[in-house]
Every structure is written in structure tokens, then in C-alpha cells.
Amino acid sequence: MIKRETDFLSILESNISILIKIARVYAYTTQDRKDLTNDIILELWKSYPKFKGDSKISTWIYRVSLNVALNTKRKRDNNKVLFFDELKVLDGSDILDVPNDNSSEIGLLYQCIELLSEPNKAIILLYLDDKSYEEISQILGLSKTNISTRLNRIKEQLRKQMNPQK
């Protein structure tokens, strides 16, 4: 294996949790998650030679991954044909198979996140991954002030969705 491949695989292995989180938020079935993850890996591989190191590797991975996820969602939304996998029939169980479990707080949180707009999904996903406002700003191309304002609104919206009686 050449050095470039070895380096890429090492980077991918260290940051696979980013891909899993994005797939969890932007794809609804196990097969869709697998497909999205594969599409992201392919795009990361194609764009890896262009990575100059101006930002953290995780910042670059988030940016590429979110772009692929949003483009995939846009294509899926433009396709008006209903496919069986859109009925949310899950099969098998693996690392990308994250249950939509109402009884767990995390499951409920992810269900509430799925209801957010695409930009807000990206912001909260990065925030939950302990990214700083500066990093979120770099990844999404928004100002830190904008990130701060949106995060406050998103948190309030999620609080209300998770605790409707309050």
C-alpha cells in the first residue's frame, strides 16, 4: 500500500465517528446510512490530495461530509418516486444501525434533531461533537455571532420538543 493510502486510512479510522454521526442525522435507514457513508468516504478520498492542512483534518472532514450529505438529501428530495427504503424498514444491525428509540434520551434527541432545518442540523451536530464556535464557523462558513445566536435558538427549540409540558 502506498503512503497516501496508508495515511488516508489512518485519518479515516481516527475520524470515523464524524461520518457515523452525519449519516445518523442525514439518512434514515440502515442502507441509506451505509450508502451515505460510502459516498462520503469516496468524496474524502477524491479530495484528499487537495487538502493543504490550512485547517484541522477534522474540520475538513466535517466540511466534505456535510456537503456530501446535503447534496445527497437534495437529490433524494428532488426525486419524487417513493422507494421501499423510504418506508423506514430497517434490516440488519451494525455500526451504522442506530435505533430510533423513544425511550432513551439520546434517541429522542436524535429524533428532535431530525426535525430541524438542514443548516441547524449541521450546527447542532458540530456542537454536540464539542466543536468550538470558531471551528463551527470555519466548517459552515458562518460568523461566530451567527453560530452563537442559532445555537441558542436551536437549544431552546430542542428543549421544547423534548419537554413539551414545560
Q: Both 119 and 156 in a single domain?
A: yes
Residue at 29 is within a domain: yes
Rounded to 5°, the CA angle 62-65-67 comes to: 105
**Residue 92 belongs to a domain:** no
Query: Are 103 and 81 members of one domain?
Result: no
Q: Of 86, 121, 136, which closes a domain? A: 86
Weakest-pLDDT range from 61-70, 103-112, 119-128 = 103-112
Q: What is the pLDDT of residue 81?
A: 47
Dump pLDDT digits (tens) for 75-121. 876 664 444 444 443 344 444 444 444 457 888 888 889 889 988 99
pTM over 0.75: no
C-alpha cell recorded at residue 98 = 442506530
The domain spanning residue 23 has which CATH number?
Answer: 1.10.1740.10
Please measure the distance between the N-terminal and C-terminal CA atoms of the chain and give it in whole angstroms: 57
**Which ranges of the chain would DSSP assign to H, the alpha helix?**
3-14, 16-26, 30-47, 57-78, 105-114, 118-128, 133-140, 144-162
Evaluate whether residue 152 is within a structural domain.
yes
CB 100 within 8 A of CB 110: yes
Q: Which domain holds residue 77?
A: 1-86
**Would you state the pLDDT for residue 38?**
95
Question: What is the number of other CB atoms lying within 10 angstroms of the CB of residue 30?
Answer: 20
Q: Are residues 76 and 152 in the same domain?
A: no
pLDDT in tens, 132-160: 999 999 989 899 999 999 999 999 999 99
Asked if residue 55 and residue 23 are part of one domain, the reply reads yes
Distance CA 153, CA 16 (A): 29
**Which cell numbers hold the place of 140?**
459552515
Q: How many CB atoms lie within 10 A of CB 5?
A: 11
